[in-house]
Amino acid sequence: MNFVKYGIIFGMTEKVFMKGNEVIAEAAVQAGCRFYAGYPITPQNEIPEYMSWRMDEVGGVFIQAESELAAINMVYGASACGKRAMTSSSSPGISLKQECISYLAGSELPAVIVNIQRGGPGLGNISGSQADYFQAVKGGGHGDYRMIVYAPYNLQELWDLTMLAFDKADEYRTPVMILGDGIIGQMMEPYIPKPYIRPVLPEKGWALTGCAGRAPNVIKSLYMGEGELEMKNNMLQAKYRKIKESEVKYEALHTEDAEVIVVAFGSAARIASSSVRDLRHAGLKVGLFRPITLFPFPEKELQRLSGKGVKFLTVELNAGQMVEDVRLAVNGRSEVLFYGRPGGAIITHDEIQDRIQEIYSGKVLAC
């Protein structure tokens, strides 16, 4: 069966109209993901639902696991065997997966983990939120590890970044997270299903593929020997430094002459883009800076934009998380303000506009 059930062709371009969650699932399949394990939770249920029939079609494995823990440990197993593997969940379920994410990082296993965030803490609610920023970028599990975190803001990016996530996971032998939310996961809009082009990647000589005729491979995160663990950690840190040097992604809109720069990611950036567009039309020098990778964070670029009397307004669907990284990057050279609403509320574009206008009119802003 052709997955493109809802496509339409315009000239040379085909556009497909699907739900965000389905876009992630199909992009994963096209990128060669052949193992998916998950456990149901709203608002990401379309991912396992889609994988349940799609994996069967492509000869992959779909498992509805008995728990989130089981699901991510199955992903660990599939990845150790050299397969492209993915799991997905939403905030409370991602909390449960943290232990194994740390193990994946420690064992240097590639995997893609999708978090379609909902309101927290606890069970919270099922609508969109960005309150898992800290958990995603600061290491939600134990130990000194990082993972690459992509924050898509439309369905085209869900497609492109999911594919990229598999490549980067393999390239660096590291877990990679797609950090979306209930808005981007549930919404439908057209995107162009660009075909997956596999880059040149290192062979998975480390994979557990049966050791007949070669020395056995060992996949582990336990290093008890004298000096062993420190060496391993130094190696991991070197890898994270390389990721910071090479993998930063961001988008800057009207930032060069901007007096106020909104910094936002994912759905919040999407909402803010309307505010910035409208205020530009009204003649205000407003820009939008959108980190696409949350780790590595685009700190050098933010640093470059700071000073010169520029003010930053960080907008998030949480009580203020990424704003800390913006402040670290700006390092006192510019004022960094915050506007956000915590889990349970969605910001509208006119709220952001009001805040920007308050900054312009010189009113003091609570942050």
Partner 1 sequence: MKEISIIVAGFGGQGILFLGRLIAYGGMIEQKEVTCFPSYGAEMRGGTANCTVILSDSMIGSPIVRNPDMLIAMNEASLKRFQPGVRKDGLLLYDSSFIKSPELRTDIFSISIPASEIAASLSASRIKPANMVMFGAMIAHTGAISEENALIALERLTSQKRKDDIGLNRDAIRRGIMFIEDKKSKDS
Chain residues binding partner 1 by CB under 8 A are 6, 8, 10, 15, 17, 42-43, 126-127, 182-183, 186-190, 267, 270-275, 277, 346, 348-349
Q: Quick check: helix, strand or coil at residue 86? A: strand
Give me the least distance between CB of 17 and partner 1, in Å please.
5
Return the number of other C-beta atoms located less than 10 Å from residue 205's C-beta.
9
Give me the least distance between CB of 126 and partner 1, in Å please.
4
Q: Which is nearer to partner 1, 87 or 186 (CB)?
A: 186
Give me the least distance between CB of 59 and partner 1, in Å please.
23
Q: Which is nearer to partner 1, 209 or 348 (CB)?
A: 348
Give me the least distance between CB of 110 and partner 1, in Å please.
31
Strand ranges of the sheet holding 293-295, from the earlier edge strand across to the other edge: 61-64, 35-38, 85-89, 111-117, 175-181, 148-150, 293-295
Give me the least distance between CB of 277 and partner 1, in Å please.
7
C-alpha pair distances (Å), 151 with each of 114, 185, 214, 281, 315: 10, 12, 41, 27, 14
Q: Which helix (H) or strand (E) holds 352?
A: helix 349-360
Q: Which is nearer to partner 1, 83 or 270 (CB)?
A: 270
C-alpha pair distances (Å), 92 with each of 132, 162, 227, 295: 10, 21, 36, 21
Give me the least distance between CB of 125 and partner 1, in Å please.
8
Among the listed residues 142, 116, 107, the one whose alpha carbon sits nearest the alpha carbon of residue 217: 107
Q: Which is nearer to partner 1, 275 or 334 (CB)?
A: 275
Q: Which is nearer to partner 1, 19 or 146 (CB)?
A: 19
Return the number of other C-beta atoms located less than 10 Å from residue 80's C-beta.
22
C-alpha pair distances (Å), 295 with each of 29, 177, 305: 24, 10, 19
Q: Which is nearer to partner 1, 189 or 259 (CB)?
A: 189
Angle at the Cα of 85 from the Cα atoms of 67 and 151, rounded to 5 degrees? 90
Give me the least distance between CB of 275 and partner 1, in Å please.
7
Return the number of other C-beta atoms located less than 10 Å from residue 367's C-beta.
14
Give me the least distance between CB of 186 and partner 1, in Å please.
5
In the chain, what's the furthest Cα-to-Cα distance?
74
Angle at the Cα of 344 from the Cα atoms of 341 and 349, rounded to 5 degrees? 45
Among the listed residues 82, 91, 74, 68, the one whose alpha carbon sits nearest the alpha carbon of residue 36: 74
Q: Which is nearer to partner 1, 169 or 183 (CB)?
A: 183
Q: Which is nearer to partner 1, 334 or 353 (CB)?
A: 353
Give me the least distance between CB of 170 and partner 1, in Å please.
32
Q: Which is nearer to partner 1, 187 or 208 (CB)?
A: 187
Among the listed residues 12, 9, 13, 23, the one whose alpha carbon sits nearest the alpha carbon of residue 156: 23
The structure tokens 């993998």 sit at 247
